[in-house]
Amino acid sequence: MRLSRACVLGTGVVPAEVPHSLEVAVEGGCFCGEVLVCDVSVGPGVIDLTSTECIGPYACDECFPSVAGTCELPPLAEGTYRVRVNGTEAFDLPVSFAVPAVAVSRCWTLAPPVDGGLFCDWPGPGLDELAQICHTESARPGESVEITVVDTCASCFDVAGACMVQLSGFSLEVSPLERHCDCPTCGVCEDICERLEMRCTTPPLPPGDYDVVYGERVSRLVVAEGPGGPTVCSGVATGGGGP
């Protein structure tokens, strides 16, 4: 079972030369009692994670949309590591001796696997200010919130990259990446805009009013008990064509 999200909570980066836990989760299912197991292998500049879902012997009246676990990292030298999950490139993980002055948490929504015929850059550039960003107006405490970033004028070979959301105080900074790909056997893209959606997931959020920051744009997310609110979007709302 491939991971959906990986987080470094409280430090923002993995501390160098000490063991550290990477908080991980699989989302988008109906889970009841499953256990998420993670095996870790480290090579020069690369961390390989192998995630497995073990089924639990439970009968449930309801199911849950995610299952969480940890990947126990060994002491790592300072640097940036490319993380592969079940053999597929997923995100870049910083390891540093630096200690943040305030608590910072970062979550990476993994870059999805790409078709075998595509040759893509890594990790991919960030998006410009024309991208559209959407999220719910409110959420319940303790939940992770999904933020969707949309490039309304992507190339037909472009694919989503990893997206990082950084939590510092009551600010959520969203940093999506987009991978530009070539396909030698596919011909050329038509000169039209394609719609490309990228998923970004926040760390679990305590109660409060949060600023969702994307470039120079800021929107509000309220975390409080009660039902979730409607979805709000900012930025370009039109454009794009079918695949």
Q: For residue range 162-219, what is the model confidence (pLDDT) as tens digits?
A: 999 999 999 999 999 999 999 888 888 888 888 999 999 999 999 999 999 998 889 9
Domain boundary among 84, 110, 136: 110
Same structural domain, 138 and 63? no
Question: Residue 190, Cβ neighbours under 10 Å: how many?
Answer: 10
**pLDDT tier for residue 2 given thresholds of 50, 70 and 90:** confident
DSSP state of 157: T
Q: Are 210 and 219 in contact (CB under 8 A)?
A: no
Same structural domain, 37 and 94? yes
- Structural domain including 156 reads 114-243
Structure token digits, residue 223: 């975390």
Same structural domain, 129 and 227? yes
Determine the pLDDT at residue 27: 82
pTM above 0.85, yes or no: yes
pLDDT over threshold 50, residue 156: yes
Domain boundary among 90, 110, 130: 110
pLDDT over threshold 80, residue 228: no
CA–CA separation, 240 vs 223, rounded Å? 32
CA–CA separation, 239 vs 229, rounded Å? 26
Same structural domain, 209 and 93? no
pLDDT one-digit tens code per residue, 42-77:
999 999 999 988 876 666 777 777 788 999 999 999
Domain boundary among 66, 87, 110: 110
Number of structural domains in the chain: 2
Same structural domain, 83 and 195? no
Same structural domain, 61 and 138? no
Determine the pLDDT at residue 1: 80
Same structural domain, 237 and 121? yes
Determine the pLDDT at residue 237: 53
Same structural domain, 80 and 144? no
**pLDDT tier for residue 242 given thresholds of 50, 70 and 90:** very low
DSSP state of 188: -
